A and B are shown apart, each in its own frame.
Chain A
Amino acid sequence: QSVLTQPPSVSGAPGQRVTISCTGSTSNIGAGFDVHWYQHLPGTVPKLLIYGNNNRPSGVPGRFSGYKSGTSASLAITGLQAEDEADYYCQSYDNSLSIVFGGGTKLTVL
C-alpha cells in the first residue's frame, strides 16, 4: 500500500492526451512538498521526467507537463507516442516517512 496513490494503468491512442493522477495527503503533497515524476522504460534505468511539480529537466520534451493542487498532482502527456509506453511514478516527501513513491502507473499506447 503506497502512501501516494496512482491508478495501476492508463491507456491512450497515438496522438491523444493522457493524464496520470497522484493522490497524497496533508502530510505529504498537501503539506506543500514538491511532487516529482519518473519514467521507467522496460529494461532501462528510471529517468527524471518532472521535478518541482512542473519543471522539465533538459532534454525532456514539452509534451510532458506536471500539475499540483491541494493533496494531489498529475502528469499530462500530450501527443502520445509509442515510445511513451512505460511505467510512471510520482514521488514526494512525507512529514513522517521521508521520501515516498506512488505505486506506479503502466501506460499503454494502443
Chain B
Amino acid sequence: QVQLVQSGAEVKKPGASVKVSCKTSGYVFTTSGISWVRQAPGQGLEWVGWVSPYYHRTDYARNLRGRVTMTTDTSTGTAYMELTNLRSDDTAMYYCVRDPNRHFDYWGQGTLVTVSS
C-alpha cells in the first residue's frame, strides 16, 4: 500500500531554516510528483509547491518563492522540503502528498513546524 512517512515535529526560531523529509513506499517513486501542503492553526489548506522526481522540476507557490526548496532522492524514494528565513506565520502543519496529476491522492501524517522566539 502507498505510504508517505514524514519526519518529526520541529521548533525553530525566526530566521532559521527547517528541512522536512517524506519517505515514500508502495509505488514507483518516479511515476508521480510530490506536492507539499500546509495548514496554519485555524486556517485552510495552502499549497506550498511541487517537485517531480522524474523530471527534477519544481514549481513553488508565488508567496514562498525564494525561501522554499524541494528536492528528491530517487535512490531512497524520499522527498524533502526546506524552508528558510522562517517567520511566525510559517507555523503550520506541513503535509507531503502524492500528486499524480495536480491532485493529492495520498497524504503523509503531517509535520508540525513551530516558529517561535
Task: Provide the main secondary structure of the chain A interface.
Answer: strand
Q: Which residues of chain B are within 8 angstroms of A40 by Cβ–Cβ distance?
A: 45
Partner of B102, one of A34, A45, A87, A97: A34
Partner of B45, one of A34, A47, A57, A89: A89
Binding site for B on A (CB under 8 A): 2, 33-34, 36, 38, 40, 45-48, 51-52, 57, 87, 89, 91, 93, 97-104
Which chain A residue lies CB-closest to B47?
A: A99
User: Can you name 19 extra interface pairs (CB under 8 A) apart from A33-B102, A101-B47?
Assistant: A2-B44, A36-B104, A40-B45, A45-B95, A45-B110, A46-B37, A47-B107, A51-B105, A91-B45, A91-B47, A91-B103, A97-B61, A97-B62, A98-B47, A98-B50, A99-B47, A103-B44, A104-B44, A104-B45
Task: Tell whether B17 is near chain A: CB-to-CB under 8 Å.
Answer: no
Binding site for A on B (CB under 8 A): 35, 37, 44-47, 50, 59, 61-62, 95, 102-105, 107-110
Contact count A vs B, C-beta below 8 Å: 55
